[in-house]
């Protein structure tokens, strides 16, 4: 597998854009809309490299197709949009259904019905299967057992606005994909005014605002903060650390009449006019093989969407707790609007 580069943030310096354009045009294997045959597959990924690279290497080994991967973080969505008249990517791997559906609604993805798609419930895939989720994550409060007990922990997301928690917890920057999806769910539940109030209060209360959830889990484990708002698999990752692993987890909003924990998912999408479309279809068929669905979810310790695949370790399955009612596909309708909403409410999308 060839890694083109790693890009973080929402913008690229002009020189980087030029270099990437040259690299990708050289590897795309033909003009936009051709069905490939070049023996290559160009994958844009918004997920952490270590969750993706081994999987792509397995695809190379199984098929002989050379994978060229661009790990672009939050910039991947923008690049797909910007390149729509000169398409470079074949497959997009995302950690956020909102981003996947946003691209589909914008006409940047194309439908396909791969073998094995019936193993993914219709709630977790696009109507035309232009994208489908493979693993789920839930928004939870991970805490340091040396600093606070489960009984003393806040039990709802709204409770983070309480002054008693000032300085005791960490959140991510506003532009984190899971934060965007979470705020979209809150807007659906509470409306804009209450959600904006929540953002402002949580920003003021937070002891730290960090780049990503990995930073939060390490800070909680080390006792730098008492707890943090993360995706549930970061808790399982911290449990496996040789030190700083005395952590617990709270699934919030589980009481009678409460909204339930917010769930999001990670998955894959088929880019419209993919230069190597035949190889993209082959990848989509391949990723749905049970062993590859398992590898996709286990790499990050997320919960498999396919109920026939057992969850990793101590991970709770989606049927074990109350979840928020917002259909995941709705996240795409408000993806860009929620980004702007978060910024207007006072939480910076990027660290400054």
Looking at residue 221, its pLDDT comes to 98
Query: pLDDT of 182-240, one tens digit each?
Result: 999 999 999 999 999 999 999 999 999 999 999 999 999 999 999 999 999 899 999 99
Residue 40 φ then ψ, to 5°: -125, 160
Rounded distance between C-alpha atoms, residue 13 and residue 286, angstroms: 35
Write the DSSP assignment of 330-343 as a string of letters: GGGGGHHHHHHHHH
Q: Quick one: tokens of 245?
A: 């692993």
Residue from 7, 74, 53, 57 nearest 300 by CA: 53
pLDDT digits (tens, 9 = 90+) for 16-45: 333 344 344 444 333 333 343 459 999 999
pLDDT digits (tens, 9 = 90+) for 74-105: 789 999 999 999 999 999 999 889 899 999 99
What pTM was computed for the model? Answer: 0.77
**How far apart are alpha carbons 158 and 163 in whole angstroms?**
12
Share of the chain above pLDDT 90, in %: 72
d(CA 276, CA 229): 39
Determine the Cα–Cα distance for residues 329 and 317; give it in Å rounded to an integer.
20
Q: Two tokens at 346?
A: 């006072």
**Could you read off the pLDDT of 249-291 as tens digits, one per residue?**
999 999 999 999 999 999 999 999 999 999 999 999 999 999 9
Ordered domains of the chain (ranges, CATH): 2-136+264-315 (3.40.190.10), 137-263+333-344 (3.40.190.10)
């Amino acid at each position: 597998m060839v890694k083109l580069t790693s890009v973080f943030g929402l913008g690229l310096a002009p020189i980087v854009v030029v270099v990437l354009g040259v690299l990708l045009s050289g590897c795309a294997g033909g003009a936009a809309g051709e069905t490939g045959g070049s023996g290559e597959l160009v994958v844009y990924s918004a997920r952490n490299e270590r969750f993706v690279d081994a999987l792509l290497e397995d695809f190379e080994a199984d098929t002989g197709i050379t994978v060229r991967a661009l790990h672009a973080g939050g910039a991947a969505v923008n690049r797909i949009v910007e390149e729509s008249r000169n398409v470079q990517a074949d497959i997009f791997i995302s950690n956020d259904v909102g981003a996947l559906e946003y691209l589909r609604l914008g006409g940047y993805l194309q439908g396909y019905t791969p073998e094995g798609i019936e193993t993914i419930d219709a709630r977790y895939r696009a109507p035309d299967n232009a994208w489908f989720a493979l693993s789920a994550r839930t928004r939870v409060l991970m805490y340091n057992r040396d600093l606070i007990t489960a009984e003393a922990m806040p039990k709802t997301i709204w409770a983070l606005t309480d002054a008693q928690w000032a300085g005791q917890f960490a959140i991510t920057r506003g532009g984190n994909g899971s934060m965007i999806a979470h705020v979209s769910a809150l807007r659906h539940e509470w409306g804009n005014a209450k959600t904006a109030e929540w953002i402002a209060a949580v920003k003021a209360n937070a002891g730290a605002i960090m780049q990503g959830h990995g930073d939060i889990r390490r800070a909680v484990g080390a006792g730098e903060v008492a707890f943090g708002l993360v995706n549930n698999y970061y808790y399982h990752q911290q449990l496996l650390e040789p030190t700083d692993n005395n952590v617990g987890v709270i699934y919030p909003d589980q009481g009678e009449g409460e909204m339930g924990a917010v769930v999001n998912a990670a998955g894959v999408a088929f880019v419209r006019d993919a230069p190597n479309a035949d190889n993209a279809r082959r990848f989509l068929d391949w990723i749905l093989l049970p062993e590859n669905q398992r590898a996709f979810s286990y790499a990050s310790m997320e919960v498999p969407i396919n109920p026939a695949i057992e969850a990793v370790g101590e991970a709770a399955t989606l049927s074990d707790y109350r979840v928020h009612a917002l259909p995941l596909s709705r996240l795409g309708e408000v993806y860009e609007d929620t980004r702007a909403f978060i910024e207007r409410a006072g939480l910076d999308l990027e660290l400054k």
